[in-house]
């Protein structure tokens, strides 16, 4: 396993709101890019909740490839102040499609920490064994793990917008697609201006790329990606 994936965000509101949006298996796939569906699957012999998950690519409505797996909630703890921690382990399925998953198996946690100012710090840390054999192990440090970390951080910011503003994950997705399309148009116009040898026009057009991401558009850069001193509090 490589360096742990670590993402944290701070959300205005109590831990109970985040707990509901993250622990409910109907809500979770709506904001998390890493899942298309999560289905409870009873309990194991130790009384731990089991579940199955799926990721349909490129989109659940056009599933050219669906990767499935199983998971188990191995621990759960909540305090009187709303603080909480949950832990899981997961394993990709055994079908030929499931073996295409870049994550073969792993484990991680979610931590909900109320802050003195009334906000909640929500943190995840997890590690995994790469799929794809030796190729997966070679690609993981510079391709798979950064992409998985980015997807987690982007999803956390989409969750924050839902918890704070009531902006649905679907609305956030649409705004993100529109924002990405607008930036792609800027790139095309800049390239066209350069091809026409109009450097001033190209410079002015390219300057639009410096506009910060709109507050309503999810952005991975708003999340912390390194463990903080003193833990998640």
For the ranges 12-16, 63-67, 68-72, 134-138, the lowest mean pLDDT is seen at 63-67
Q: Which of 167, 189, 218 is a domain's end point?
A: 167
Contact in structure between 89 and 51 (CB atoms under 8 Å): no
- pLDDT of res. 100: 86
Per-residue pLDDT tens for 58-84? Answer: 877 778 889 999 999 988 888 888 899
Q: Could you tell me the residue range of the domain that residue 152 belongs to? A: 5-167
Cβ neighbours of residue 138 under 8 Å, at least 6 residues apart? Answer: none
Q: Is residue 115 exposed (0-12), middle (13-18) or buried (19+ Cβ within 10 Å)?
A: middle
* pTM of the predicted model as reported, rounded to 2 decimal places: 0.91
- Rounded to whole angstroms, the Cα distance separating 201 from 191 reads 10
Q: Are residues 126 and 202 in the same domain?
A: no
> Is 217 a member of any domain?
no
**Considering its fold, how many domains does the chain have in total?**
2
Q: Are residues 117 and 177 in the same domain?
A: no
Rounded mean pLDDT of 135-142? Answer: 95
> Is 149 a member of any domain?
yes
pLDDT band at residue 217 using 50, 70 and 90 as cut-offs: very high
Q: Are residues 195 and 152 in the same domain?
A: no
- pLDDT of res. 82: 86
Q: Are residues 89 and 57 in the same domain?
A: yes
Q: Half-sphere exposure of residue 224, counting CA atoms within 13 Å on the CB side?
A: 15
Per-residue pLDDT tens for 178-193? Answer: 999 999 999 999 999 9
């Amino acid at each position: 396993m490589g360096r742990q994936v670590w993402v944290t965000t701070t959300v205005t509101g109590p831990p109970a709101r985040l707990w509901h949006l993250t622990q409910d298996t109907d809500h979770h796939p709506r904001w998390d890019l890493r899942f298309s569906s999560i289905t409870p699957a009873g309990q194991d012999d130790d009384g731990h909740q089991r579940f199955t998950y799926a990721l349909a690519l490129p989109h659940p409505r056009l599933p050219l490839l669906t990767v499935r797996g199983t998971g188990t909630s191995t621990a759960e703890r909540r305090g009187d102040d709303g603080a909480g921690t949950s832990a899981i382990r997961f394993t990709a399925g055994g079908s030929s499609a499931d073996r295409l998953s870049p994550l073969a198996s792993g484990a991680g946690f979610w931590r909900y920490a109320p802050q003195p100012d009334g906000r909640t710090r929500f943190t995840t840390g997890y590690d995994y064994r790469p799929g794809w054999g030796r190729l997966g192990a070679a690609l993981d440090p510079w391709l798979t793990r950064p992409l998985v970390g980015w997807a987690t951080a982007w999803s956390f910011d989409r969750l924050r917008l839902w918890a704070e503003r009531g902006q649905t994950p679907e609305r956030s997705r649409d705004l993100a697609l529109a924002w990405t399309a607008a930036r792609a148009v800027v790139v095309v116009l800049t390239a066209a201006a350069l091809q026409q040898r109009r450097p001033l026009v190209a410079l002015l057009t390219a300057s639009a790329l410096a506009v910060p991401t709109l507050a309503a558009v999810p952005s991975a850069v708003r999340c912390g990606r390194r463990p903080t001193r003193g833990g998640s509090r």
